[in-house]
Amino acid sequence: MAEPEEFLNELLDKAEHSVQLQILEPLPPEVRPELLKKSQVQVLTQKWLGENNLKLYRNWLHSWLVWMSSSGWKGPAFNEMHVHNLTVALEGDTQDLVMHYI
């Protein structure tokens, strides 16, 4: 079994990779976003409170990433939108922590 620090580093690496792949990397030049099929993803209503629950965290992160990418906000041109929507999707101490680093 991995040490707690190794486990946490691996968890953060996976989250960073998911964010990079799903919303930070721009679409390839040959892709025309206006032609992509719009998915009917609902606006994210579940906020992350920082609970110590990995399953809840992974579900929340996945839902947030799906919502962001389905909205077409992909690539560095949308960084301000990414940050804004992340802060809206957080509450409590977790939101305070993110706002401190922004």
Q: What is the pLDDT of residues 12-61, one digit of tens each?
A: 888 888 888 888 887 777 766 665 555 555 666 778 788 888 888 888 88
Has this prediction a pTM greater than 0.75? no
Residue found under tokens 């799906």: 66
DSSP code of 90?
A: B
Q: Where are the chain's structural domains?
A: 76-102
> 2-22 burial, b for 16+ CB within 10 Å, e for fewer?
eeeeeeeeeeeeeeeebbeeb
Tell me: pLDDT of 9 over 80: yes
Per-residue pLDDT, 41: 56
